[in-house]
Structure 1
Amino acid sequence: MPILTSHQRGILLMIIAPTLWSIAGVLTRHLDAARGFEVTFWRSFFSAVFVAGALLWQQGASRTVATIRGGGALGVLSGMMWCVMFVCFMIALTRTTVANTLIVLSVSPLLTAFLAWLVLKQHIAPRTWLAIAAAFAGIAWMFASSLSEVGGQHLTGMLIAGAVPVAAAVNLIAIKRAGHGIDLIPAVLLGSVFSAALMLPMAWPLQASLHDIGILAVLGFFQLGLPCMLMVRAMKSLSAPEVSLLALLEVLLGPLWAWLGAGEVPARETLMGGAVVLAALVFNELAGMRKAAGRAGEMAGSS
């Protein structure tokens, strides 16, 4: 059985992570009473429980505390960025449509590539810029028919949503700058704790039924905590723009699960735009793998 390279393992993790992120919409359709701030609170709370449990199981109490402290300023910064993403995404959805929110979120790869070039002095291949542009166009196509006019409350929601791609880009650069020497998985725990603490006063009094809490526990464990941990692991072998591009699979798969699990039939534009996004992602990865294979062949030939 062939052994995956570190880059291939990173790609696999970044396929699993957005696939798990994308189940949020279909699961929240089945909530009874929990809404808005309370959903964010419980999701963040259970994410914190999951990540803390995983760290304690893997490292033990004393080493977990040491790992959290070892993150230093970058760990706190990453935790704050996770918190911004967790909170602002949900608040944006209470102010504008899902389509408007996702369109704003789709600029994340562009911001990430720019910051990687500016901060990390990383060369961004032309194929990656092309894939980013194609993916953005595909997402715009997916949701063009349901975009609301930008004004009033919708404008407020889109401005709030704008904090998410900015925080995501900053977070990816922080994780990449930390390198292999600093473990920033505890930053997911910090972000979850920060988010739950911020949301609790606005979510009070809590109204979730036991049925809701069960769904929100699944969201916290498997839609938030686990995939965020997988993303941090993937960053060890993938570039920041590459991770940001692959994360767009969440936008692509979300409507599919809503179709299969909640009977929400996607529009033709959604299917066509999704095909463009998927083609852009596949093109970028295959081109990168061919280039890497070519370099390996040249090195083998010269030796």
Structure 2
Amino acid sequence: MTHGRAVTLMIVVTLLWSIAGVVTRQLDAARSFEVTFWRSLFNALALAVALSAMRGAALWRGLLRAPWPVWVSGLCWAVMFTAFMVAITLTTVANVLVTMAIGPLITALFARLFLHHRLPARTWAAIAVGGLGIAWMFGQEAAGAGMSLAGTLAAFAVPLAAAANWTVLQHTGRGSGDPDEPALQDMLPAVLIGALISAAVTLPFAWPLQASGHDLGLLWMLGAVQLAIPCLLVVRLTRELPAPEIALLGLLEVLFGVTWAWLGAGEQPGANTLTGGALVLGALVVNEALALRRRR
């Protein structure tokens, strides 16, 4: 896979991830932990079908005997699936997004510490500018609404788990460069493990379930389309893109999410949002252009 194709697929991943907010706003009765439970459950069902088709009965025979990186990655996925919705119930969306904007920096630090990657100055600069852009987009709104320490800590778990996950996936999946490398294949069930853990943990808090039939249809789409498909894709992309670049491109999820809310929920972005979005897009474009020029 070429670098350009990998970047394009990662943009598709962020586009799919970004629909969560606008779809959630269309729900009738499901709220908070129930949304997380149904989304994780449908995610697990979709992954079970997809991975069974890919692996057959070997998937289930080898699940409990999976090596430690699979379980570590699974726990990271579970935290990522769950912590975002927990944070939303404790603090403002703006606060959550500002906190999550430090993800690329944490990922870069993890890659440097654990994978001994040397990051070019352009990547560090792009991370800094991208984080500044996200903070600019939502900082004023967050300051006006007030901060919650518990919500901030819950939101911080998302980029922390994501950074650990990208580091583990890249460590196990890029070793030989062989498309049929067993290490890569062994990491795919980690997404299923994470979805199952997330559904099991949130079920007690989601009871009694109140989702309508309309809600269940939307939540099925979130589980299958917004989580299962892009999460499997990003596992594959960890073999092609450095972990910090994946995290940096992941900032596009915020921009896409704002656009979906504008088009689908009538939430028109203000001047701060447009300015911050321009900073993020500019950082991504410059970083990718310099990387392409260097490879050529």
Q: Contact 1:81/1:171 (CA < 8 Å) preserved in 2?
A: yes
Residue 248 (1) aligns with residue 251 (2)? yes
Following superposition, the deviation at residue 71 of structure 1 comes to 4.3
Q: Which amino acid aligns with 1:31?
A: L
| Identity across the alignment (%) | 51
CA distance in structure 2 between the aligned counterparts of 1:91 and 1:47, rounded to whole angstroms: 18
Q: Counterpart of 2:156? A: 162
Q: Counterpart of 1:218? A: 221
CA distance in structure 1 between the aligned counterparts of 2:280 and 2:63, rounded to whole angstroms: 37
Deviation digits for residues 101-156 of structure 1 (CA, Å, limit 9, x no counterpart): 0011010100000110110001111000000000011001111221136967x121
CA distance in structure 1 between the aligned counterparts of 2:97 and 2:200, rounded to whole angstroms: 26
Residue 92 (1) aligns with residue 99 (2)? no
Question: SS of 1:206's equivalent?
Answer: coil
CA distance in structure 2 between the aligned counterparts of 1:57 and 1:258, rounded to whole angstroms: 35
Q: Counterpart of 2:8? A: 12
Q: Contact 2:100/2:155 (CA < 8 Å) preserved in 1?
A: yes
RMSD: 1.4
Residue 29 (1) aligns with residue 32 (2)? no
Q: Which amino acid aligns with 1:141?
A: W
Q: Contact 1:68/1:75 (CA < 8 Å) preserved in 2?
A: no
Residue 284 (1) aligns with residue 284 (2)? no
Deviation digits for residues 133-181 of structure 1 (CA, Å, limit 9, x no counterpart): 00011001111221136967x1210111111111010000000111244
Question: SS of 2:143's equivalent?
Answer: coil
CA distance in structure 1 between the aligned counterparts of 2:48 and 2:79, rounded to whole angstroms: 20
Cα distance change of structure 1 residues 287 and 67 upon mapping to structure 2, 3 Å threshold: farther
TM-score for both structures, normalised by structure 2: 0.94
Q: Counterpart of 2:171? A: 177
Residue 48 (1) aligns with residue 44 (2)? yes
Following superposition, the deviation at residue 268 of structure 1 comes to 1.1
Q: Counterpart of 1:298? A: none
Q: Which amino acid aligns with 2:143?
A: S
Q: Contact 2:98/2:139 (CA < 8 Å) preserved in 1?
A: no
CA distance in structure 2 between the aligned counterparts of 1:68 and 1:11, rounded to whole angstroms: 30
Question: SS of 1:114's equivalent?
Answer: helix
Residue 101 (1) aligns with residue 104 (2)? no
More displaced 10-residue stretch of structure 1: 173-182 or 248-257: 173-182
Following superposition, the deviation at residue 69 of structure 1 comes to 5.3
Q: Contact 1:29/1:262 (CA < 8 Å) preserved in 2?
A: yes
Q: Which amino acid aligns with 2:193?
A: L
CA distance in structure 1 between the aligned counterparts of 2:39 and 2:208, rounded to whole angstroms: 16
Q: Which amino acid aligns with 2:152?
A: M
Where in structure 1 are there 5+ consecutive unaligned residues?
A: 294-303
Following superposition, the deviation at residue 8 of structure 1 comes to 2.1
Q: Counterpart of 1:238? A: 241
Cα distance change of structure 1 residues 272 and 150 upon mapping to structure 2, 3 Å threshold: closer
Question: SS of 1:162's equivalent?
Answer: helix
Structure showing greater Rg: 1
CA distance in structure 2 between the aligned counterparts of 1:46 and 1:22, rounded to whole angstroms: 17
Alignment map for 1:178-193 (pairs within 5 Å): 178-179=172-173, 180-182=181-183, 183=185, 184-193=187-196
Q: Counterpart of 1:39? A: 35
Following superposition, the deviation at residue 51 of structure 1 comes to 1.0
TM-score for both structures, normalised by structure 1: 0.91
Following superposition, the deviation at residue 65 of structure 1 comes to 2.8
CA distance in structure 2 between the aligned counterparts of 1:207 and 1:218, rounded to whole angstroms: 18
Residue 138 (1) aligns with residue 141 (2)? no
| Equivalent in 117, 121, 131 of residue 122 of structure 1 | 117
Q: Counterpart of 2:177? A: none
Question: SS of 1:147's equivalent?
Answer: helix
Q: Contact 1:9/1:234 (CA < 8 Å) preserved in 2?
A: no
